Amino acid sequence: MTMNRRDILTGGAGAALAATAEIAATSPASAQAIEWNIDADIVVVGGGASGMPAAIVAREAGNKVVLVEAEKHAGGHGICSGGNLPLGGGTSYQKKWGIKDSPDLVYQDLTDWSVVSANGAADYRYNDREIIRAFADNCAPAYEFLKAHGVVVHDKPPDTQGGNSVGASVPREMHCSPQDWPLIQTGQPATPEQKASLSTGNGLMHPLIEAAAKAEVEVLLEHRMKTLHRQGPHSGAVIGIAVEHDGKMINIRARKAVILCTGGSTSNVNFRRMFDPRLTEEYCGVAGTPWSYQDASGELAGMAVGASLWGLANNPAEMGSVITKPGTIGGQFGYVNLQFHPGSEVFDKARAVGLRVKDWQNVVTVNMLGKRFYDETGPQYASDNYGVNKDYVPGSYLNAKNMKWNPHNWLAAAMQGIGDGQNGGGPIWAIFDADAVEREKWDPKAPNVDEANGFFYKADTLAELAKKIQMRFQRVPMPPENLEQTVARYNSFVDSGKDDDFGKPKPLFKIAKGPFYAAWATPVLHDTRAGLRINAKCQVVDMNGEIIPGLFAGGETAGGFSMHGIARATCQGYIAGNWAIKEPRRA
């Protein structure tokens, strides 16, 4: 069964499968007793920035490839991204702009122990050297693969926009053009202005989805992996998967390999709390949702057959985009690169566009108790990039000494909680008034904000506003007197020109003119940097350090790599696909 591009984007696989495959009710425990419903050489789990390259590579090598995707659309986390693509090592793109780079330089950059960010976080110290060596050697080939399969980057010199922990020696950041593809954010093609300058994951994933369809990769949408089948519970090769579709179980044989590209674990509350106990359920605006959910399904399935986790120190590291300040306020989903609008196929789940904050001087941010906790203009965590350390010398102890100490603590302060002995920072609310609405040129009503579901409130007085804030994640009522006192004290700082509490640079605007507003401004979870242990070939490794035959992983499903974004995902998908096809074909 093959699918065209429209089928992949709209979810036509479900009906096709029901017509062509016998559905198994359960997944038998014994490998010998499994009744296989679908047969393939390579099974890829996940249709995002790792899964699509892996599937295309394997299919173009002559293998029968089945790609299963849990959502009703392909694209995964990658299509939701900002489209910033830091693949280096001497790409044709770098050569065009006179940038001298090499695999050795990429490796040196991404394993430099001496690099620290301005808050002391070490960007590369905990990277797995074997994994970084493979990435460095495959960076340029992966870029040429993407280029050959329709991905177009904007014709401008490499820069540092959107780069997190991508190496300090040379600029490597490219930006994917939307071309004529529809944007998932709007459901409409990009405007001429967007085509000329917008960097977007739409420009990465739409061409790869098209290339997969052209190669006749068999894509099954709304098929959620539940189990990996291995010859023995913790021995032998992985031989397939069980997926759930329409309430029924389907067994898919993988005669060569299964490649896990499920996108990480940020949406799985209990899983993510293994790395950081603070990340309780109120951090519900995970980047990429509601288009795709990073549910840890790949990690959990791998662990169930003996796989190890890896690189855990990178996951809670206070650098880059592992956790971000919200890019928009007033709606559940505040990821900076992703505003869904009416017309998007997932707007019924997103429910609000969100209000983009141009100047954080226009709001104060408060915790559940209505109290300020930090300077609102404070940035999110910094990270290393070309030009960050002006005097950078590879491996020099002076790199840390030359970095000006400048902690970025809005996020850490927001997550501190309220001193009630419970984990989790609780909701953070941006408080502002009618004058701020005018300055920001906001329209604070639906569909721009989500008042119906408790992510936005409006009242004539601050006391009334505090009383109105009642929603699932607000575990204690906000005392009205607290909010009134907080705003009164802040207004006094505007008069004096000095924030005596948190050092906000010259507070500019009072909050005094009703109506008053409270908008959801809770931090957004983004990167997964810890996942399954892999080796240089992206083969999954067990708790004894042994390779699990027939099992591969890449992107945010894999651990050992601190870099943010789609470069590691696309490159590891490319690596996994090229090594999976070399696996012996099992009867």
Peptide bond before 447: cis, by omega within 30 degrees of 0? Answer: yes
In angstroms, rounded to a whole number, what is the distance separating the alpha carbons of residues 261 and 45?
5
Give 351-406 pLDDT, tens digit per residue: 999 999 999 999 999 999 999 999 999 999 999 999 999 899 999 999 999 999 99
- Is the CB of residue 555 less than 8 Å from the CB of residue 573? yes
586 lies in the same domain as 475: no
Angle at 149 between CA 145 and CA 152, to 5 degrees: 95
The mean pLDDT of 225-230, rounded to a whole number, is: 98
Q: Please give the pLDDT value at position 21.
A: 30
pLDDT-derived band at 468, boundaries 50, 70, 90: very high
Cα Rg, the chain, nearest whole Å = 24
In angstroms, rounded to a whole number, what is the distance separating the alpha carbons of residues 46 and 66?
10
Q: How many domains does the chain have?
A: 2
584 lies in the same domain as 436: no
The mean pLDDT of 292-311, rounded to a whole number, is: 97
Residue 56 lies in a domain: yes
Give 487-544 pLDDT, tens digit per residue: 999 999 999 999 999 999 999 999 999 999 999 999 999 999 999 999 999 999 999 9
- Is the CB of residue 550 less than 8 Å from the CB of residue 583? yes
pLDDT at 116 over 70: yes
Residue 3 lies in a domain: yes
Of the three residues 501, 520, 539, the one that is the final residue of a domain is 520
Task: Identify which of 432, 434, 416, 329 has the alpha carbon closest to the alpha carbon of residue 369.
Answer: 416
Of the three residues 500, 520, 540, the one that is the final residue of a domain is 520
- What is the C-alpha end-to-end distance of the chain, expressed in Å? 22
46 lies in the same domain as 106: yes
The mean pLDDT of 396-417, rounded to a whole number, is: 94
Give 65-75 pLDDT, tens digit per residue: 999 999 999 99
Peptide bond before 53: cis, by omega within 30 degrees of 0? Answer: no
40 lies in the same domain as 117: yes
Give 131-161 pLDDT, tens digit per residue: 999 999 999 999 999 999 999 999 999 999 9
462 lies in the same domain as 434: yes
Quote the mean pLDDT of the chain: 94
Which uninterrupted H or E stretch holds 245? strand 235-245
The mean pLDDT of 546-551, rounded to a whole number, is: 98
Give 306-327 pLDDT, tens digit per residue: 999 999 999 999 999 999 999 9
pLDDT at 28 over 70: no
In angstroms, rounded to a whole number, what is the distance separating the alpha carbons of residues 416 and 369?
12
Q: Please give the pLDDT value at position 231.
A: 96
pLDDT-derived band at 5, boundaries 50, 70, 90: very low
- Is the CB of residue 473 less than 8 Å from the CB of residue 426? yes
The mean pLDDT of 37-63, rounded to a whole number, is: 98
Residue 411 lies in a domain: no
316 lies in the same domain as 334: no
Q: What CATH number has the domain bearing residue 126? A: 3.50.50.60
Q: Please give the pLDDT value at position 565.
A: 85
Q: What CATH number has the domain bearing residue 485? A: 3.90.700.10
> Phi and psi (nearest 5°) for 208?
-70, -35
Residue 466 lies in a domain: yes
pLDDT at 446 over 70: yes
59 lies in the same domain as 118: yes
pTM of the model as a whole: 0.94
Q: Please give the pLDDT value at position 202.
A: 97
Of the three residues 493, 520, 547, the one that is the final residue of a domain is 520
Give the whole-number percent of the chain exceeding pLDDT 90: 93
In angstroms, rounded to a whole number, what is the distance separating the alpha carbons of residues 174 and 144?
13
91 lies in the same domain as 219: yes
491 lies in the same domain as 350: yes
Q: Please give the pLDDT value at position 12.
A: 36
The more confidently predicted of residues 169 and 8 is: 169
> Phi and psi (nearest 5°) for 547?
-70, 135
Place of tokens 């990658």: 78
536 lies in the same domain as 500: no
Angle at 280 between CA 421 and CA 347, to 5 degrees: 145
Place of tokens 């998007």: 344
pLDDT at 24 over 60: no
Residue 399 lies in a domain: no
- Is the CB of residue 67 less than 8 Å from the CB of residue 56? no
Residue 296 lies in a domain: yes
Domain of residue 237 covers 1-322+528-587
Residue 384 lies in a domain: no
pLDDT at 17 over 60: no
364 lies in the same domain as 318: no
pLDDT-derived band at 30, boundaries 50, 70, 90: low
Q: Please give the pLDDT value at position 284.
A: 97
Residue 359 lies in a domain: yes
502 lies in the same domain as 580: no
pLDDT-derived band at 441, boundaries 50, 70, 90: very high
pLDDT at 9 over 90: no
Q: Please give the pLDDT value at position 13.
A: 34
